[in-house]
Amino acid sequence: MSDIPEDDKPSRRDFLYITTGTFGAVGAAAMVWPLVDQMNPDSSVKALSSIEVDISEVPEGGFLKVAWRGKPVYIRRRTTEEIIRAESEDKEDLPDPQNDADRVKKKEWLVVVGVCTHLGCIPIADRGDYDGWFCPCHGSHYDISGRIRKGPAPTNLEIPPYEFASDTVIKIG
Amino acid sequence: MNNDYEYVPKNSFTRWLDTRLPILRFTNEHILQFPTPKNLNYFWTFGFILTFFLITQIITGVILAMHYAPNSLLAFDSIEHIMRDVNYGWLIRYAHSNGSSMFFLAVYIHMFRGLYYGSYKEPREVLWILGCIIYFLMIVTAFMGYVLPWGQMSYWAATVIINLVGTLPIIGDSLTQLLLGGFAVDNPTLNRFFSLHYLIPFIIFGLVLLHIWSLHVPGNNNPTGVSVQGKQDTVAFHPYYTVKDFFAYVVFLLLFCYFIFYNPNALGHPDNYIEADPMLTPAHIVPEWYLLPFYAILRAVPDKLFGVLLMFGSIVVLFFLPWLDTMKVRSARYRPFYKMFFFIFVLDCLLLGYLGAQVPEGVYLLLSRVSTFYYFAFFILIMPALSRLERPNPMPIGISNPALEQNARLD
């Protein structure tokens, strides 16, 4: 009978079971991560992260569509009239309120990622009820500032990180 | 089930084998002699048809993989290479692409059969859930396979569907990048889709074995929904149902052959013969016909996340059927109200399919919303309500007993 307290105490064998199990579990988890992480964007994909675009040829009211990270970016040279319209619509009831001034670095140039914020289709320029962009997939309408005005998309067209390298060159990314 | 028959090895080799690997005994018990209700109708032949279509898809798929190049620069051309240069490549590819449509047609009939005759009810819940998992994996496989030809529809279907995942809160963005392997659908995406498209059918095959295993524990349901009570209610699977199933399979093959040989592109979309262009979205994106109802549900809702949740929910709800419909009577034959709502549900699914192909505006949008509501109402409101309120018609006590004779006894 005096053996019972002895049995209740963790034995050397219990310790070995637990440490072996723990080492095994941690080892397996450490092995799983490379198997999952290999699916994330690789170095060659990440290396293509910035481009420079010459915008000297774009006429007033015209636009350029360039590929950045496999997605199109619209660089639009807006007319004075379009700028005034975009700013005057700041006060309207917008689904994703944002002032036009906060979406541009120079009023004349609007740079937006041409990917619909709904499900990733490419909106067509100069279409739709607001003369900005129209997404053919599920009918989202964007205005001349790339703001969502009507349709299922939840947010405005994304502004990529960019800067004016000179008066005629934009660096995106 | 009943063990009235006994497998007796006939010669010295089979006796020797039987004590080492009793595979002939197993075949005999589970295929040849398996006791099957004697009153099964032709709707019960689709399980057999589906097994054959799974095998067809695996064989044609393995062959196509011998000629296909899973690379964004080569994929589109390698499909044309299969169509024009490879001996009988056109036949194998058309069999594979139309085979998926036939597979889904058969699975939908199989599922509606289960829904009508209450095949998901106790004791077949696990059987039903395994079937739902198989169906979900079929959708995933079909979607990935659709991306491989790298046409415009392939590319944009992949973009739209992966973006659905991105709507999930918190994990959405990182999960999207993990699936894409980049910032947009590109070569890494195509590569992994090819790998998984090759893998999942074998997982489905394994699940089909479990599906059949769980079927063979309680045995088949039958059109009356009344459980088998004894030997008088069953016949051996072979030759009675092997012959019936083969006959139905051959008739179904006629439809398959019509599509392969006379109208191979009828179920596809012409835009997929234009090579993928990441800079240009086609004017009208539609999925394959068998996914149109889900697409209609997605677009019926103005809110992005809610639309996605409803779309996934429309499949998730199927898993809970055994607990939503608690009526003990299985077959809709004896449930007049359930039968009526069931047929409205079938029409509702067809309507959703039609709406999935239309532009979601005006009357189409309104109809999508109404039919999406009915889709969920059927499962979540009507089924539990009928389980409590409906009074089933008089039904036979056993498969072999005529219904009328039994009515008197019920009273």
User: Lowest mean pLDDT: which of A28-37, B43-52, B212-221?
Assistant: A28-37
pLDDT at B299 over 90: no
Taking CA–CA distances from B175, the nearest residue in chain A reads A40
Q: Tell me the Ramachandran region of residue B31: left when phi exceeds 0, alpha when psi lies from -120 to 50, beta otherwise.
A: alpha
Classify residue A69: in a domain, yes or no.
yes
- 């590569």: which residue's tokens? B191
Interface A-B, measured as beta-carbon pairs within 8 A, has a size of 83
Give the model confidence (pLDDT) of A77-91 as tens digits. Answer: 999 888 998 888 888
Taking CA–CA distances from B184, the nearest residue in chain A reads A70
Q: Does the beta-carbon distance from A69 to B164 stay under 8 Å?
A: no
Residue A44, pLDDT score: 80
**Architecture of the CATH domain B25-291:** Up-down Bundle (1.20)
CB contact B278 to A (< 8 Å)? yes
Q: Rounded mean pLDDT of B207-219?
A: 96
In whole angstroms, how large is the CA radius of gyration of chain A? 28
Q: Rounded mean pLDDT of A147-157?
A: 87
Dihedral over Cα of A99, A105, A107, A111: its sign: negative
CA-wise closest residue to B224 among B400, B411, B106, B45: B400
Q: Does the beta-carbon distance from B359 to A139 stay under 8 Å?
A: yes
Classify residue A33: in a domain, yes or no.
no
CA dihedral A20, A24, A30, A33 (to 10 degrees): -160
* Alpha carbon of B184: minimum distance to chain A alpha carbons (Å): 6
Give the model confidence (pLDDT) of B263-280 as tens digits. Answer: 999 999 999 999 999 888
What are the C-alpha distances in Å from B16 to residues B12, B25, B28, B398?
6, 12, 16, 42
* Stretch (H or E) spanning A81: helix A80-88
Classify residue A116: in a domain, yes or no.
yes
Tell me the average pLDDT of chain A: 87
> In one letter, which amino acid is B64?
L
CB contact B362 to A (< 8 Å)? no
Q: Which of B164, B185, B278 sits opposite A119 (nearest CB)?
A: B164
> In one letter, which amino acid is A135?
C
| Cβ atoms < 10 Å from Cβ of B332 | 21
* Alpha carbon of A93: minimum distance to chain B alpha carbons (Å): 17
The one catalytic residue among A46, A65, A106, A138: A138
A138 is catalytic: yes
Bridging pattern class, strands A63-68 and A71-77: antiparallel
> Which residues in chain B have Cβ-Cβ distances shorter than 8 Å to A71?
183-184, 278
Q: Does the beta-carbon distance from B183 to A72 stay under 8 Å?
A: no
Residue A2, pLDDT score: 52
Interface test with B, best of A39, A63, A74, A119 (most B CBs within 10 A): A119
pLDDT at B2 over 60: no
Q: Does the beta-carbon distance from B281 to A137 stay under 8 Å?
A: yes
Q: Does the beta-carbon distance from B178 to A67 stay under 8 Å?
A: no
B404 vs B334: CA distance, rounded Å? 13
Q: Which of A36, A70, A136 sits opposite B281 (nearest CB)?
A: A136
Look up residue A33 and give its two tokens: 């991560």
CB A147 within 8 A of CB A156: yes
Look up residue A3 and give its two tokens: 């053996």
Interface test with A, best of B176, B304, B306, B358 (most A CBs within 10 A): B304
Q: Rounded mean pLDDT of A149-154?
A: 85
> Which residues in chain A have Cβ-Cβ distances shorter than 8 Å to B186?
45, 70
Q: Does the beta-carbon distance from B178 to A40 stay under 8 Å?
A: yes
* % of chain B exceeding 70 in pLDDT: 96
User: Lowest mean pLDDT: which of A52-61, B225-234, B374-383, B396-405?
Assistant: B396-405
CA atoms within 13 A on the CB side of B21: 2
Residue A6, pLDDT score: 62
Classify residue A13: in a domain, yes or no.
no
Residue B283, pLDDT score: 78
* Alpha carbon of B159: minimum distance to chain A alpha carbons (Å): 6
B116 band by pLDDT with thresholds 50, 70 and 90: very high
Q: Rounded mean pLDDT of B376-389?
A: 96
* Alpha carbon of A36: minimum distance to chain B alpha carbons (Å): 8
Domain that holds residue A130: 47-172
pLDDT at B331 over 80: yes
Greater model confidence, B288 or A7: B288
CA-wise closest residue to A121 among B123, B53, B158: B158
Which sequence spans correspond to the domains of chain B? 25-291
CA B369 from centroid of its chain's CA atoms: 25
CB contact B181 to A (< 8 Å)? yes
| Cβ atoms < 10 Å from Cβ of B246 | 15
Taking CA–CA distances from A155, the nearest residue in chain B reads B304
Q: Is the pTM of this model over 0.90?
A: no
- Count of structural domains within chain A: 1
B1 band by pLDDT with thresholds 50, 70 and 90: very low
Q: Which of B164, B183, B299 sits opposite A71 (nearest CB)?
A: B183
Taking CA–CA distances from A113, the nearest residue in chain B reads B279
Bridging pattern class, strands A109-113 and A140-142: unpaired
B307 vs A136: CA distance, rounded Å? 18
pLDDT at B404 over 60: no
CATH code at position A130: 2.102.10.10
B219 vs B394: CA distance, rounded Å? 24
B173 vs B178: CA distance, rounded Å? 9
Residue A161, SS3 per DSSP: coil
CB contact B73 to A (< 8 Å)? no
> Which residues in chain A have Cβ-Cβ distances shorter than 8 Å to B281?
121-122, 124, 135-137
